[in-house]
A = this chain, B = another copy of it.
Amino acid sequence: MRSFLVTLSAGAMFGAPVAADPLRDAAAQFYGPLPATVTELEGHVATPEKVELGKKLFFETRLSASGSHSCVSCHDLAKGGVDGLATALLPDGQSGLRNTSSVLNAVLNTDHYWDGREADLAAQTVGPELAGLAMINTPEAAVAALKAIPAYAEEFALAFPGEADPVTADNLARALESFEATLLTPAPFDAWLAGDDAALSDDQKAGLQIFMDKGCAYCHFGPSIGGQGYYPLGLVELPGIDIKAADEVAQAAAADPEAEDFVFRTAPLRNITLTAPYFHSGKVTDLAIAVDVMAAGQLGSPLAPEETAGIVAFLGSLTGTLPEIAPPTLP
């Protein structure tokens, strides 16, 4: 965002024909172009060795107790980094309670779960994922499985030089986080933010204006276009029971006066056209309906059909290009 403004000023200074664009100026309050790379992570740096190891671990089914599920099983890189299901199907054939969040651009999110459990991505990879929610495994068992594969000992030693015993759950998490930090998807919206007027269609520009005017951008801001805070679903108007997840329905039925309200993370909106179904419960499959539920429920401001269509058009400009990730050959 800052570098764009510098470019604009420099252009003006030297008399280059940079047209003033009020829409881009307004958008610059909320958004900057996607970074080309992210290597400075929480407490460590994503080195090429960590990225390479993390890529293998991302495809490694031996991290699950059943040996059947890897990160890719639910965070499918062919499908926007999710599984396309309402809620994840676990190795035991049971469904989880929450819709799978995308790993794409996840490094840019401040928060990493619908329910706000993990503040950083590295903790997330070994926390709920391994510890029962998705892999039905423990960090200890996953580390033991990796230690039984000699090639991994070598790769961990390369990725974490100078450590006496580098195959640890923390380093497993750091390697996965380093690989996931490469999963950035530059989109037409980024090109437009950086000055390419033709990158958005007129419909998309009109939709962006509506998105900001209606107030969507007050929660869906920052590099992930969301992913920055937690709110109850139904801030203004409660959504119907048909959008609630099974545990919420159960809590509502029990009518427990001690029960806390459910709050959910503002969804990051990059690649939202690829990641249906929507919401924490995965109960809404149509993006236009999801937009309408948000406008009515969170903003108390129902949309006219052409406003919904405009916002959906704008959201299409957030669908980016994934780096080509060929599955590595595992040791």
| Interface residue ranges, A against B (CB under 8 Å) | 56, 59-62, 66-68, 70, 73, 76-80, 83-85, 88-94, 274, 322, 324-330
Q: Which residues of B contact A328 (CB under 8 A)?
A: 78
**8 Å CB contact of A85 from B67, B79, B94:** B67
Q: A327 touching B77 by the CB < 8 A rule?
A: yes
In the complex, what distance in Å separates the CA atom of A106 from the CA atom of B325? 23
Closest to A73 in B: B73
Closest 7 CB pairs of A and B: A93-B93, A78-B327, A324-B326, A68-B89, A59-B78, A92-B93, A77-B327
CB pairs A–B below 8 angstroms (28 shown): A56-B78, A59-B76, A59-B79, A60-B78, A61-B79, A61-B83, A66-B85, A66-B89, A67-B84, A67-B85, A68-B83, A68-B88, A70-B76, A76-B327, A77-B326, A78-B328, A78-B329, A78-B330, A80-B329, A90-B93, A92-B93, A93-B93, A93-B94, A274-B329, A322-B329, A324-B324, A325-B326, A325-B327
Q: Which residues of B contact A83 (CB under 8 A)?
A: 61, 67-68
Closest to A326 in B: B324
Q: Which residues of B contact A327 (CB under 8 A)?
A: 76-78, 325, 327
Interface secondary structure of A, over-half rule = loop
Q: Which residues of B contact A326 (CB under 8 A)?
A: 77, 324-326
In the complex, what distance in Å separates the CA atom of A124 from the CA atom of B180? 35
Q: Which residues of B contact A66 (CB under 8 A)?
A: 85, 89
Q: Which residues of B contact A76 (CB under 8 A)?
A: 59, 61, 70, 327
Q: B77 touching A61 by the CB < 8 A rule?
A: no
Q: Which residues of B contact A60 (CB under 8 A)?
A: 78
In the complex, what distance in Å separates the CA atom of A88 from the CA atom of B92? 13
In the complex, what distance in Å separates the CA atom of A27 from the CA atom of B85? 51
Q: A84 touching B59 by the CB < 8 A rule?
A: no
Q: Which residues of B contact A92 (CB under 8 A)?
A: 93
Besides the known contacts A61-B84, A62-B84, A93-B93, 14 further A-B residue pairs in the complex with CB atoms under 8 A apart: A59-B76, A59-B79, A61-B76, A61-B79, A61-B83, A66-B89, A67-B84, A70-B76, A73-B73, A78-B328, A79-B330, A93-B94, A324-B326, A325-B327
**8 Å CB contact of A91 from B78, B79, B84, B89:** B89
